[in-house]
Amino acid sequence: MPPQAPAQATHSDKAPYPTIHAASLADPETFWLAAAAALDWARPPVRAFDATAGIAGRWFPDATLNACHNAVDRHVAAGRGEQAAILYDSPVTGTKRTISYAALLDEVETLAGILADLGVGKGDRVVLSMPMVPEALFGMLACARLGAVHSVVFGGFAANELAVRIADATPKVVLSASCGLEPNRVVAYKPLLDAAIAASPHKPDACLILQRPQGPATLVEGRDRDWAEAVAAAKAAGRRAACTPVAATDPLYILYTSGTTGTPKGVVRDTGGYCVALAWTMPNLYGVAPGETYFCASDIGWVVGHSYIVYGPLLHGCATVLYEGKPVGTPDAGALWRVASEYGAVCLFTAPTALRAIKKEDPRAERVGDYDLSAFRSLFLAGERADPDSVAWAERALNRPVIDHWWQTETGWAIAGNPLGIDLLPVKHGSACVPMPGYDLAILDEAGKPVLAGTMGTIALKLPLPPGCLPTLWGSDERFRASYLSTYPGWYDTSDAGVVDADGYVTVLGRTDDIINVAGHRLSTGGMEAVLASHPDVAECAVIGIHDALKGEQPCGFVVLKAGVVREPGAIEAELVARVREQIGPVASFKLALTVARLPKTRSGKILRGTMKRIADGQPWTTPPTIDDAATLDEIGTSLRARGLAS
């Protein structure tokens, strides 16, 4: 039997969603200055927005603050130091740990002192390649405390991907761990870090390494320091660092996302706008109150983890769950429900992939009934489009609102969603609901003109973007302009296709560039193609994302071998799979490489990736009139059917 739903909080003191959204667009100055009052400011903002600053304007240009002070210090100062801040739960190590706000402050100001002694100051960069452990959060907040810029790299990336990010961010210090842990294996991080530093033209001054007993690492003399030893020495010496106020327009972090050229794009997140936006979302979008427990089952390497494992819950004074485990297999498909129950989480935020994995293992949702979910109020999904069947399954199993919402690494928070803390709007399966305040969203045709309701086109956001969205790319204003602002002047191009219906509900249909979404992870097919093309036997290649019932999409590579190659194609295909996993990492989920005689192209030489994808997904397709050789499409279908992929 589905658990009984808890009483929903009423919001009679708030205006309805349409009024709030309209006000945010009609008078953004007043709207966002009011939202900014939720924070502590060293110098409060007098104006909200300067349209003349930067590439597309800047938020709170006259204000200063510190993100760490707002996430930690002010809660302790308000007498809430004994309240839980971080609830660490690691089924892969059998470890649980509750860290109060006072204990968090002690750890962060100590680590900030260590970083300062290593030469890190305001504006310097620090790269983190860390597993899901409390020290990773300490590191992010310690950087923010000093006014330094952190850049977290997902631990699943290979050495060369880490090297590219080190080269671009030029960090003074790298924070890492000896290893990460999967349910059935230990992932050695330190050799990857050593290889990345060796490959990067930039060398950090120092590395602080958290030694984990499951896989200790050898430290490099003169460069590496033992994390625990450094912390013990700093605490013995009373070494601590105070918060450094920074301009609201100063960067808080850089988060790299896949680029269409295969070169990662360093999304810059400014401090003031981001903190204001996240502080607004916690009560208004997620319906969570200070002191309650918020559970985001993501990874700190992704934007979701930055926003809703670390900064959002802590800015709002919540307890945040830090879960080092999987939705299934640690130990079973009830893992997330167990965590939500044990810590009294009122909200769970995870990816549709996780929900599909749970549904696959527990189709009758029997594990839900094993736990007391009386405190649990809502399930939010993001990272990819949530399929209607899985949403309906979760609604039946949980007897709670299940809300699909849509956002991007670039925006930092939801573009569209169901504002649970304002109005719980009717759910339409397959839709991400309505635009959030500050987002002026439209569907544009190829000429940049808005289309009629129900008509598919490119989803675009009218400038200026609301607080929290990227103001630029790291070190590349022109790439920011070319990537997002040049296609439709006056608009931000999301590179997503979709429709808006007559009720204003947004449905995202898929990417318009070569970025595919694998289990919520945005990955560049161009980057994978570059790896395949580097194989000595490959003449040309194409990678497309094809539908996958569990992961949303999976990459599939098609390769044409060079003339004269007589090796067994199967052996070459296996090498290609291994090469992608080595150079991009297991996160790419690259398992399919198919050898074909030719790639379908237009007469101008453009590979027909869209048509190939429709064939692979079993969707209707027609032979484009510009195709050079129509028979190649039939050959693609034959190759796919041989692998059981196309109908």
Complete DSSP assignment for 138-180: HHHHHHHHHT-EEEE--TTS-HHHHHHHHHHH--SEEEEESEE
Final residue of a domain: which of 418, 435, 452? 435
CA 276 to chain centre: 19
Q: Measured between alpha carbons, how far is 421 from 432 in angstroms, rounded to an integer?
A: 16
The string of pLDDT tens digits covering residues 509-543 is: 877 766 677 877 767 787 788 789 889 999 888 89
Compute the 3-state secondary structure of the chain and give helix, strand, coil in percent, each to the nearest 5: 35, 25, 45
Same domain, 420 and 538: no
Q: Measured between alpha carbons, how far is 111 from 128 in angstroms, rounded to an integer?
A: 13
Q: Measured between alpha carbons, how far is 541 from 369 in angstroms, rounded to an integer?
A: 49
- Domain with residue 460: its CATH number is 2.30.38.10
Residue 236 is encoded by which pair of tokens? 């013995």
- pLDDT(621) > 80: yes
Q: What is the mean pLDDT of residues 283-299?
A: 97
For residue 626, the model assigns a pLDDT of 58
Residue 400 is encoded by which pair of tokens? 């709670």
Same domain, 411 and 469: no
- Domain with residue 27: its CATH number is 3.40.50.12780
Same domain, 411 and 450: no
Same domain, 507 and 562: no
Q: Is 466 exposed, middle or buried (0-12, 13-18, 19+ CB in 10 A)?
A: buried
Same domain, 403 and 428: yes
Residue 546 is encoded by which pair of tokens? 């094809």
Same domain, 322 and 415: yes
Q: Measured between alpha carbons, how far is 620 from 219 in angstroms, rounded to an integer?
A: 56
CA 200 to chain centre: 25
Q: How confident is the model at residue 628 (pLDDT cuts 50, 70, 90)?
A: low
Final residue of a domain: which of 407, 435, 463? 435
- Domain with residue 539: its CATH number is 3.30.300.30
Domain tally, the chain = 3
What is the CA angle 11-83-280, rounded to 5?
35
Q: Is 356 exposed, middle or buried (0-12, 13-18, 19+ CB in 10 A)?
A: buried
Cα-only R_g, the chain? 24
For residue 10, the model assigns a pLDDT of 39
The string of pLDDT tens digits covering residues 540-579 is: 888 998 888 888 889 999 998 988 899 999 999 999 999 9
Mean pLDDT is highest, among 1-5, 30-34, 179-183, 260-264, for 30-34
Same domain, 342 and 455: no
For residue 485, the model assigns a pLDDT of 97
Identify whether 223 is part of a domain.
yes
For residue 2, the model assigns a pLDDT of 57
For residue 8, the model assigns a pLDDT of 47
- Pairing, β 345-350 against β 293-296: parallel
For residue 13, the model assigns a pLDDT of 60
Final residue of a domain: which of 435, 460, 484? 435
Identify whether 532 is part of a domain.
yes
Identify whether 647 is part of a domain.
no
- pLDDT(225) > 90: yes
Identify whether 315 is part of a domain.
yes
Q: Residues of the chain with pLDDT > 70: what percent?
A: 95
Q: How confident is the model at residue 373 (pLDDT cuts 50, 70, 90)?
A: very high
The string of pLDDT tens digits covering residues 317-328 is: 999 999 999 999
Q: Measured between alpha carbons, how far is 554 from 570 in angstroms, rounded to an integer?
A: 20
Q: What is the mean pLDDT of residues 615-638?
A: 79
Same domain, 419 and 367: yes
Q: Measured between alpha carbons, how far is 588 from 157 in angstroms, rounded to an integer?
A: 9
Identify whether 603 is part of a domain.
yes
Average pLDDT of the residues of the chain: 92
Find out whether the peptide bond into 464 is cis, omega within 30 degrees of 0. yes
The string of pLDDT tens digits covering residues 109-143 is: 999 999 999 999 999 999 999 999 999 999 999 99
Same domain, 388 and 523: no
For residue 474, the model assigns a pLDDT of 97
Same domain, 277 and 197: yes
Same domain, 464 and 495: yes
Same domain, 179 and 155: yes
For residue 625, the model assigns a pLDDT of 57
Identify whether 12 is part of a domain.
no
Identify whether 94 is part of a domain.
yes
- Structure pTM? 0.86
* Whether 528 contacts 580, CB under 8 Å: yes
The string of pLDDT tens digits covering residues 404-449 is: 999 999 999 999 999 999 999 999 999 999 999 999 999 998 889 9
Q: Measured between alpha carbons, how far is 162 from 358 in angstroms, rounded to an integer?
A: 31
The string of pLDDT tens digits covering residues 135-174 is: 999 999 999 999 999 999 987 678 988 999 999 999 999 9
Identify whether 154 is part of a domain.
yes
Domain of 488 in residue numbering reads as: 441-511
